[in-house]
């Protein structure tokens, strides 16, 4: 074997080994950056947009829903707060129903009943002195949610008689 042939073989061998190490290190860094992006995405998803309470103080609303001002009105007196908060967003009806059933129970609302159909679903809740109706209207591009809260009839009568 000639000296130039041996040199070519050694250089080729060194090149192959170098390429192997570059490839292994590159894959390791890709793997760690994928894990980093997955963990930061997981943290962001866990933190994500947090649900907020609407004007009534004890009705939680998913952060994906945005207020529809022209359909929202609230009446507040010294004795009670009543009205409707309207929202819309790209949220599935089933996930909204699940969300409201869970969050309303946590805020001590008792479910009286529900009606589910397409495009309209209604849930009725009650507390010791108030009632709440949540209407979910499924649209082509958005889902609209209306949260109606009013004092219970016996509470209104006692407030008027004072």
* pLDDT reported for residue 110: 96
Cα gap 14→55, rounded to integer Å: 71
* pLDDT reported for residue 102: 94
Q: How confident is the model at residue 51 (pLDDT cuts 50, 70, 90)?
A: confident
Taking alpha carbons only, the member of 134, 133, 151 closest to residue 77 is 151
Cα gap 159→162, rounded to integer Å: 5
* pLDDT reported for residue 1: 62
Residue 53 tokens read as 């309470």
For residue 32, pLDDT beyond 60: no
Phi–psi pair at 157, nearest 5 degrees: -60, -45
What residues contact 55, with CB distance under 8 A and at least 6 apart? 72, 74, 81, 83, 85
For residue 155, pLDDT beyond 60: no
Between 135 and 36, name the one with better pLDDT.
135
Between 29 and 113, name the one with better pLDDT.
113
As a whole number, mean pLDDT of residues 120-148 equals: 95
Q: Which CATH architecture has domain 52-161?
A: 2-Layer Sandwich (3.30)
Element (H, E) at 2: none
For residue 129, pLDDT beyond 80: yes
- In terms of pTM, does the model score above 0.75? no
For residue 97, pLDDT beyond 70: yes
């Amino acid at each position: 074997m000639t000296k130039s042939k041996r040199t070519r073989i050694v250089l080729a061998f060194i090149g192959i080994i170098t390429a192997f190490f570059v490839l292994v290190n590159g894959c390791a860094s890709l793997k760690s950056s994928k894990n980093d992006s997955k963990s930061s995405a997981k943290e962001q998803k866990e933190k994500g947009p947090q649900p907020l309470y609407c004007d009534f103080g004890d009705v939680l609303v998913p952060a994906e829903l945005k207020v529809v001002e022209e359909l929202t009105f609230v009446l507040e007196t010294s004795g009670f707060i009543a009205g409707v908060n309207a929202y819309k967003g790209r949220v599935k009806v089933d996930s909204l129903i699940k969300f409201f059933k869970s969050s309303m129970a946590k805020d001590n609302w008792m479910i009286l009943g529900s009606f589910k159909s397409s495009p309209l679903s209604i849930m009725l809740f009650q507390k010791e002195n108030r009632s709440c109706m949540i209407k979910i209207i499924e649209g082509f591009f958005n889902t609209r949610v209306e949260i109606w809260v009013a004092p219970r009839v016996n509470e209104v009568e006692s407030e008027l008689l004072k």
